[in-house]
Each structure stands twice: as C-alpha cells, then as structure tokens.
Amino acid sequence: MANNNSFKNGGVKTKSISSSSSSYSSGYKSKPSVTSGGRRSSTGSTGNSAGALHKDTPGVSGRVRVAVRLRPRNTEEQSTDADFADCVEVQPELKRLKLRRNNWDSDTFEFDEVLTEFASQKRVYEVVAKPVVESVLDGYNGTVMAYGQTGTGKTYTLGRLGDEDTSARGIMVRAMEDIFAEISPETDSISVSYLQLYMETIQDLLDPTNDNLSIMEDPKSGDISLPGATLIEVRDQPSFVELLRLGEAHRFAANTKLNTESSRSHAILMVHVKKCVKERDGENGGKAHMSRTMKAPVVRKGKLIVVDLAGSERIDKSGSEGHTLEEAKSINLSLSALGKCINALAENSSHVPVRDSKLTRLLRDSFGGTARTSLVITIGPSPRHRGETSSTIMFGQRAMKVENMLKIKEEFDYKSLARKLDVQLESLIAEHEREQKAYQDEVQKIRLDAKKQMSDAEKSYKDAFEKERLKYQRESMESIKKLEVQLAANQEKQGDKRVKVGFKDEGVRSSTNAELIEAKKLLQNEILLRKAAEEEISNLRNQVVQWKRSEATGNAEISKLRKMLEDEVHHREKLEEEISMLQNQLLQLSFDADETRKQLEIGHGVDMSGEMGSLVSPVRQQQMAYSGEQKGSVAKLFEQVGLQKILSLLEAEDPDVRIHAVKVIANLAAEATNQEKIVEAGGLTSLLSLLTTSEDENIHRVAAGAIANLAMNETNQELIMSQGGISLLAMTAENADDPQTLRMVAGAIANLCGNDKLQLMLRAEGGIKALLGMVRCRHPDVLAQVARGIANFAKCESRASTQGIKTGKSLLIEDGALPWIVKNANNEASPIRRHVELALCHMAQHEVNAKDMISGGALWELVKISRDCSREDIRILARRTLSSSPTFQLELKRLRLNTG
Ligand code: ADP
Ligand code: MG
C-alpha cells in the first residue's frame, strides 16, 4: 500500500529528528492535488449512455493526519501538581512534542500538527477538520476522530455547541457551518445520523427506541450500512444544533439507564452530503432531439464521520473502576480492535482484523480505505498520567503511518433526469396542442370570411342585375307600346289619304313626310336606348364572369388551405408518434436505471480490486459503504417514482403504451412485496377504472389479473369493495368472451368471496350472480374459479351461521347457485369438483338449508361424497354433516324405505 511515498517516515518516533516529515499545513491545508486533477477529468467525461457510476479516478494516496492537542492544567492539577513540572513540552513551530522520561531525559515525537494549551477552537478546527470537510464537499468520504484519556478534551474539541460563547464551538458545529455555506438547498441535501457504541451495541441517539442497530454488509460489494439508523435531513444550522442537543440528551438518558458514563462509550456522528455537480453546458437550449442531448446530472456523495472515542485509559485497566471483567472487555473491545487494525495497517501486515469489532467495521473506510482521515489525540500535562499520555502518543504515531487511497464518490442522478424529461415532454405536448388549436381557429376564420364575402358579392350582384333588367324591360315595353300607338295612327292616316287622291295630294304628302320623319326619329331614339341597354347588360354580364372567376380563386384558396390542414394533421400524427415513443423510452429508462445501477456497482468493484491489490481488499469493501447504505432507500424511492410513472402511463393515448403499462403493473402485483406499494400509489383505483374506461379486452384481462392478485390481501379486498369493484368486475364479466378474461375476473371475485366481512355487500352488488353468469363459458379454468368462489363464500357463510351472526338460508341458494353446484358435484376436473364438494358440505351444516338441498338433489350428491370422495377429510366431513342433520336423516330413512 504505502511503500512508495514520502509520508511513510513522517512522524516516526525519533530521537535524532531527521525524517522528511511532511508539513501538516502545506500538505493538508491546501486543497489536495487530487481534488483538482482527479475531479476535473472525472466530470468532463459524462460517460457512456449506460451511465457510469463512480468515475474511475485511480485514487490518490492520502495518509492519515494526526494532530496532538495539549489540555491546560485544570484546577485540581494546578493545586496538586503545583510542585511538579508538566510531563510534556510542546514545540509547535517545530511540530514536535517532548515527553519527559525523567529529570534528565525525554523522548521527542513529531506530529502533523502540535496544538498547545493556548490553541483556539477555531485554529483546531482549521488544521484538523477543515481539509476533511472540504474533501467531503468534493465527494470524498472523510473522518475526524478524537483519541485520548478521559478528561483530556476529546468532547471539548469535537462536541462543544458554543451556546454561550461562539468562540467555543467544537468541530461538529463548525464543520456543519462550512458544509451549509457550500451547498445549494434546491439541488443538494444533507442528512445526519447520530449513534453511540457501547459494549458492542449500537444505539440510535436520534431515536432511543432503536437500541440495538445492526451493521449490514452488502455480500457483493462489501458496503457497510446501518439500515435501522434514523437518518434526518437537516436544512439549516439551528436544526442541526438541535439534533446534536437531542442526541446528547438521549445519550445521557441511555447511559443513566445502563448505569455508565459517556466516557465509556463511543459517539459517532455521520453526515451524508449529496451535492449536485453544476452543469456547465448550454447545449440543452434547443428543443429538438432533446431526448438525445439530455444528460443525467452528476451527484457527489461524501460522508463525514466524526468519532468521539471512549476514554483510551480503559484499554489497560480491565476490571478497574467497578466493572466486571466481562464488561470491561466488552467496553474495550472496539478500542483495542481499532488499535490492532492501525498497528496492522502501519506495519503493512497482510491481515487487518477489521471484523473483530463493530467500531472497526464502521470505520473500515477511514483507516486503510478511501476516506480522508484526520485524528486528533488529546493529552493532559500531568506527570501522574505519564503512562496514559505516552500510550496515547504512541497510538498517534502509529496512526500517522496509515495510508488511505482517496476516491471520489460520484454518480449520475437518473431520477432527476427522468423528472426533467417528463416536464419537457409535458410542455411539448401542451405547446403542440396550443399551436394546433390556434392554427385550426385561423383556418376556420379565413374560411368563414371568404364565404361571407362571396355570398355578399353574389347577393349584391343579383340585386343590381335584377333591378337593371326590370328597368330595361319596363322601358322597352313602354317604347314598344308608344311605337304601336304611333303605327296605328299612321296607318289610319294613310287610309284617309288614299280616298282623297288628287288635288290635295301634294299637301298631304308633305304632312305625311313630316310625320314619317318624326316616327323615324323616335325609332332611332328607341334603337339607341336599346343599344345602351344591351351594353349595360353585357357590362353586367362581364361583371358576373369576373365574380365567377374570383369565386374560383376563392375555391382554390380554400382547397389550398384544406391541403395545409391535412399536412398539419399528418405532422401532428407524427408528433404524437414521437411522444408515444418518448413515453416508451421513459418507461424503459425507469426500468433500466435500477438494473444499470446494480451492474455498474458490480463493475466498479471489479476495477477497484484490480487497482488496489489484495492487501487492501478487506478494506475495499468499506469504500462504498455510503452508496450501499443509500441503496435500500434509493431502491425504495426509485420504485415509488417508477411506479407513479407507470401508473400515469395507464392513461396514455397510445394503446400500446397502455397495455404495456398494465402488464407491468400486473407483473408487479404478482409479488406480495409490491402490492402494498401499488395500492398506496393509487394503482388499484387506476386498474378498476380501466375496466370501464378501456374497451380493449386485452387491457380488461390484464387489469383483472392484477386486481385478482391484489385481492389476495384482506385490506385490498375491502378497498376493492369500497370502490365499487364488484359491479365493475360483474360488468366486465358480462361483456367478456375471452375465457382468460373471465378466468381473471372470476379469480378476483373468488378471492373477495373468502372475506368474512364482505359477504353481504358482495352478494348485494351482484357478486354471486356474476360468478354464476360466467359459467356460460365452459372453459374448465373459468369453472374452477367459479367453484372456488362459491366454496369460499359457503365457508364464510357457514362460519357466520355457526357464530350466530347469520340466520336464514344460504344466500347461494337464494341466488340460484344450487342447480349448478349439484350439476358439477361430479365434474371430471378435480379443481372444480373439489370446491363444489366443499361448498356442499359447508351448506349442509345448517338445517335451514336442508329442505332446499333435498329438493335440489344435493342430498344424493352428499351421500355420494360421503362414500366415494377420494379425499378422506372431505369424506368424513360429508358423513358427519349427514348424520348430524335430523332433516337429512329423516329423508334418508324414507328413501331407504322407498328403495326397499
Ligand atoms: P474527554 O471528552 O476527553 O473526556 P472533556 O472534553 O470532557 O474530555 O474535557 C474534560 C474537561 O477539560 C472539561 O471540563 C473541559 O471543559 C476541559 N477542557 C478540555 N480541553 C480543554 C481546553 N483545551 N481548554 C480548556 N479546557 C479544556
Ligand atoms: Mg468525552
């Protein structure tokens, strides 16, 4: 693991200080080079379409950093040790600490940081924890841990809330302040667990009823998680401080109950930071092909663990301070296992006993794993505790040799991509609909306008034409009349002239001539008028032709618009096709995402072992502890989101999508574990409504199958009934021809028949009638379900009668089921026969039914069952039933008499 780097010798106990120890501040405070190099390359490659889980950055070595903090003398030490010199001497500028052996000799140790008794809480945070917190925000795991003898300041360093004096705030509070400053509430999230480990038992400090949490280890990836631990999402600093306070209160209460004190237990704070990596591209602007350019956002999941260890003095003092040996061993187990692991890692030993204790299992990623780890060891100045101080220092020195390989935890967020796609799809559909509507309105308006113009023009033309025509008709009639009068007068005059021939001849001729000229003039006038009229008419005719022409162009325009409309309709159909394709893709995506996630996790594990080699492999499993821990809840969430999506597709326009979605639901409903989720998500209601809204028998069949599966559970049965399920199923049964559909419907009703509470309602809503109606289809599978339903019903009824809840005849008899029952008591198919036999036995147990059963021929069937049934239990039941009924006995006696 760490055979190649310069930190290796840093911090080895040394008398002649010559090691090339790294500078704590330069190597630690500045952001690690990994962060820039590794991160940049990783976000740049957004991976293949399958979506890469963690980026394969090779991991960067990061040694465990150790700081030592010296507590000032306390009041007691000030008085009791007044005459003695402190056993330690600090040289912060040299990052050295001297531990006095005796008056003339001391050992010198180097650390990454040496914090004097005057070091402020702010400085301690900045050198010990801040770099770890920054790494967590960059997507790495990080650990801050305090180790030391009780009373040396571990809790002071990590856990002070600083209520009265903000400068006293400890690492937990300051770390969270830094985290809140760096995240954006819309995209990122922080959740917190707080635990106590005492005598190898993990207690939930956020929920004291969880007093024995177990560590789960993913058998494949080796990820560690605490599935039972309360995980609270915190949104601001005050609520986080409140959580810490609550945890402390619970810790105090738990320890009082266990009769111990907090110095004997380990407190572990876990902070999960999920941070979305900002998208840098503007490529998603265009709407076209968005399904192809859309990328899943990258999220980084860092986990910060802060551990306030139990007092280190316990290790060597088993049995001291009032503990039994067992108790002491147990208290010390985790701490000594941690020491052993650190020794093994420091010495590059091939076996690291990680599994020896709960603490080492929980901190698997912190030592020898992928986390950035910082340890603060706390010591006191008193010479009386020189032994403890020395062993604390040695622990710190060994921890400095542990090398981790830092790895970024990054993955694609498919769910938010799916949500985004969904939103875009919706808006596309809405926009398309809007455009379509506007276009249609426009076409309609143009059409109406054109029509109106045409009819107006036509009307005004007709009116004008008619008026003109009448006018000229009238005028020409008048002219003709005038001419006729004139002509008659002329002819008369001509007659007179012929009689008076002779001397007057000249005079007469001249006067006649004048009249003729007059008549000619009139005639010419008339001719002119007629011509003008004719011209006017031809004018009007021309106008008519023109109108006709413009009407033709109008028609051409309309047909053009019509063509455009057709094109548009075609375009719309294409878009709808694309939408349904997108919906299919989305569905597919939802299903694939989980698969992909799993596969990628496996793939990642293989890569890791290749890189890290066998030495690290026991530790490697810890590397993905966080993602493993999340996995349970992610799967749950995913299912819920996926389910909602699928349910919404039940209403899709495309029948293929719909049937696909129903089939998926039906498949899910076949598994008991999914049923509750389906019902919770409203799936039952959707399925029931499909029975009325859809006309597709395939959908009816599959939906009824899903309902039948859901109807196996008592709560669901009540829900189905309360939502009018029986009427819906009855209606479906009535309209269906396909035996498979009928089988599903009958199966669903048969399940409902087995519920004692629903008997009356089921019958009142026609459940029994519906069952009997389905026997029209002779398919044995359908008949078997009908028989099962009847048997279930008879059984419940019999129970109710026995308990005195029910009086009166069987409702099965009331509803006319007996003839079918009797007829099928000998059915060849054993599933049918068996159920019918049971139904008969149940009905026969109550005297009220006896008369009807005798007259319906059921007694004879019962006798046959009691003799011939191949199942002994039914045979015995029939026999007992027969012998206990006085009515049956009487009848049998009579028959025997009759038959002789
Ligand atoms: P631990 O958790 O290691 O048992 P505590 O944090 O409870 O120790 O500290 C023991 C006592 O010492 C407390 O009263 C605490 O206030 C005090 N103390 C510890 N460290 C310092 C320090 N650096 N400066 C002042 N007082 C301190
Ligand atoms: Mg403490």
pLDDT for the residue 692: 87
Model confidence at 28: pLDDT above 80: no
Measure the CA–CA gap between 471 and 327, rounded to whole angstroms. Answer: 130
435-468 tens-digit pLDDT? 999 999 999 999 999 999 999 999 998 999 899 9
pLDDT for the residue 91: 96
Mean pLDDT highest for which of 73-87, 156-170, 280-294? 156-170
To test the ligand 1 pocket, which listed residue (78, 118, 156, 395) has its Cβ within 8 A of the most ligand atoms? 156
What dihedral do alpha carbons 804, 805, 807, 810 form, nearest 10°? -110
Q: Is 381 in the pocket of ligand 1 (CB under 6 A)?
A: no
Model confidence at 51: pLDDT above 50: no
Query: Does 59 appear as a known binding residue?
Result: no
Measure the CA–CA gap between 279 and 44, rounded to whole angstroms. Answer: 10
Does residue 616 contact residue 405 with C-beta atoms inside 8 Å? Answer: yes
- pLDDT, average across residues 364-373: 92
Q: Which residues contact 531 (CB under 8 A, 6 or more apart)?
A: none
Residue with tokens 């011209």: 535
Question: Binning pLDDT at 50, 70 and 90, where does residue 550 land?
Answer: confident
pLDDT for the residue 395: 96
Question: Binning pLDDT at 50, 70 and 90, where does residue 54 land?
Answer: very low
Measure the CA–CA gap between 774 and 821, rounded to whole angstroms. Answer: 14
Measure the CA–CA gap between 313 and 360, rounded to whole angstroms. Answer: 18
Question: Binning pLDDT at 50, 70 and 90, where does residue 597 land?
Answer: low
Indicate the SS3 state at residue 198: strand
Query: Does 155 appear as a known binding residue?
Result: yes
730-758 tens-digit pLDDT? 999 999 989 999 999 999 999 999 999 99
pLDDT for the residue 85: 81
Measure the CA–CA gap between 191 and 196, rounded to whole angstroms. Answer: 17
Q: Is the dihedral of CA 124, 130, 136, 139 positive or negative?
A: negative
Measure the CA–CA gap between 273 and 785, rounded to whole angstroms. Answer: 54
Least confident of 5-9, 57-61, 203-207, 350-354: 5-9
Measure the CA–CA gap between 433 and 572, rounded to whole angstroms. Answer: 9
Question: Binning pLDDT at 50, 70 and 90, where does residue 551 land?
Answer: confident
Query: Does 754 appear as a known binding residue?
Result: no
Cα of 156 from ligand 1 centre, angstroms: 5
Q: Which numbered ligand comes closest to the C-alpha of 378?
A: 1
Does residue 306 contact residue 269 with C-beta atoms inside 8 Å? Answer: yes
- pLDDT, average across residues 679-696: 88
115-141 tens-digit pLDDT? 999 999 999 999 999 999 999 999 999
Q: Which numbered ligand comes closest to the C-alpha of 156?
A: 1
Q: Is 683 in the pocket of ligand 1 (CB under 6 A)?
A: no
Number of CB atoms found within 10 A of residue 722's CB: 10
Question: Binning pLDDT at 50, 70 and 90, where does residue 598 land?
Answer: low
Q: Which atom of ligand 1 is nearest to the CA of 157?
A: 6
pLDDT for the residue 360: 96
Buried b (16+ CB within 10 A) or exposed e, 283-309: eeeeeeebeeeeebbbbbbbbbbbbbb
Question: Binning pLDDT at 50, 70 and 90, where does residue 646 land?
Answer: confident
Q: What value does the CA radius of gyration of the chain take, rounded to a whole number of Å?
A: 49
Cα of 154 from ligand 1 centre, angstroms: 7
Paired residues of 192 in beta bridges: 232, 271
Cα of 403 from ligand 2 centre, angstroms: 27
402-436 tens-digit pLDDT? 999 898 887 777 777 788 888 888 999 999 999 99
Tell me which residues have their CB within 5 A of the ion that is ligand 2.
Answer: 154-155
Q: Which atom of ligand 1 is nearest to the CA of 378?
A: 3
Cα of 12 from ligand 2 centre, angstroms: 28
Query: Does 767 appear as a known binding residue?
Result: no
More confident call, 786 vs 296: 786
Q: DSSP letter string over 46-75?
A: ---TT--SS-----EEEEPEEEEEEPPP-H
Cα of 153 from ligand 1 centre, angstroms: 4
Measure the CA–CA gap between 400 and 407, rounded to whole angstroms. Answer: 19
pLDDT for the residue 240: 97
Query: Average pLDDT over the chain, rounded to whole?
Result: 82
Model confidence at 318: pLDDT above 60: no
Measure the CA–CA gap between 751 and 745, rounded to whole angstroms. Answer: 10
Question: Binning pLDDT at 50, 70 and 90, where does residue 53 land?
Answer: very low
Question: Binning pLDDT at 50, 70 and 90, where does residue 660 land?
Answer: confident
Q: Is 150 in the pocket of ligand 1 (CB under 6 A)?
A: yes
Query: Does 747 appear as a known binding residue?
Result: no
pLDDT for the residue 18: 31
Q: Is 156 in the pocket of ligand 1 (CB under 6 A)?
A: yes
Question: Binning pLDDT at 50, 70 and 90, where does residue 611 land?
Answer: very low
Model confidence at 36: pLDDT above 60: no
pLDDT for the residue 322: 55
Q: Is 392 in the pocket of ligand 1 (CB under 6 A)?
A: no
Least confident of 54-58, 221-225, 637-641, 772-776: 54-58
pLDDT for the residue 59: 65
Measure the CA–CA gap between 578 and 292, rounded to whole angstroms. Answer: 13
CA-proximal residue: ligand 1, atom 18 (nearest): 153
Does residue 195 contact residue 205 with C-beta atoms inside 8 Å? Answer: yes
More confident call, 349 vs 263: 349
CA contacts within 13 A on the Cβ side of 504: 9
- pLDDT, average across residues 315-324: 51
Q: Which numbered ligand comes closest to the C-alpha of 170?
A: 1
More confident call, 398 vs 55: 398
CA contacts within 13 A on the Cβ side of 314: 32
Measure the CA–CA gap between 305 and 370, rounded to whole angstroms. Answer: 13
Cα of 335 from ligand 2 centre, angstroms: 14
Model confidence at 23: pLDDT above 80: no
Question: Binning pLDDT at 50, 70 and 90, where does residue 325 land?
Answer: low
Q: Which numbered ligand comes closest to the C-alpha of 152?
A: 1
pLDDT for the residue 668: 83
Paired residues of 203 in beta bridges: 196
Q: Is 159 in the pocket of ligand 1 (CB under 6 A)?
A: no
Backbone angles phi, psi at 308, to 5 degrees: -100, 100
Does residue 125 contact residue 22 with C-beta atoms inside 8 Å? Answer: no
Number of CB atoms found within 10 A of residue 715's CB: 11
- pLDDT, average across residues 791-809: 90
Buried b (16+ CB within 10 A) or exposed e, 246-281: bbbebbeebbeebebebbbbbbbbbbbbbbbbeeee
Model confidence at 284: pLDDT above 70: no
Question: Binning pLDDT at 50, 70 and 90, where does residue 594 land?
Answer: low
Query: Does 373 appear as a known binding residue?
Result: no
To test the ligand 1 pocket, which listed residue (70, 71, 265) has its Cβ within 8 A of the most ligand atoms? 71
Model confidence at 808: pLDDT above 70: yes
Model confidence at 603: pLDDT above 70: no
Q: Which two tokens stand for residue 751?
A: 């399940």
pLDDT for the residue 324: 59
816-838 tens-digit pLDDT? 999 999 999 988 888 899 999 99
Query: Does 150 appear as a known binding residue?
Result: yes
Q: Is 385 in the pocket of ligand 1 (CB under 6 A)?
A: no
CA-proximal residue: ligand 1, atom 17 (nearest): 153
Q: Is 148 in the pocket of ligand 1 (CB under 6 A)?
A: yes
- From residue 727, give the alpha-carbon distance in Å to each of 318, 764, 765, 806: 74, 10, 6, 24
Q: Which two tokens stand for residue 246?
A: 């609550």
Measure the CA–CA gap between 610 and 614, rounded to whole angstroms. Answer: 9
CA-proximal residue: ligand 1, atom 5 (nearest): 153
- From residue 667, give the alpha-carbon distance in Å to each of 506, 705, 750, 782, 884: 129, 9, 20, 21, 47
Does residue 8 contact residue 2 with C-beta atoms inside 8 Å? Answer: yes
Measure the CA–CA gap between 867 and 732, rounded to whole angstroms. Answer: 40
Q: Is 397 in the pocket of ligand 1 (CB under 6 A)?
A: no
- pLDDT, average across residues 6-10: 34
Cα of 204 from ligand 1 centre, angstroms: 25
- pLDDT, average across residues 797-806: 89
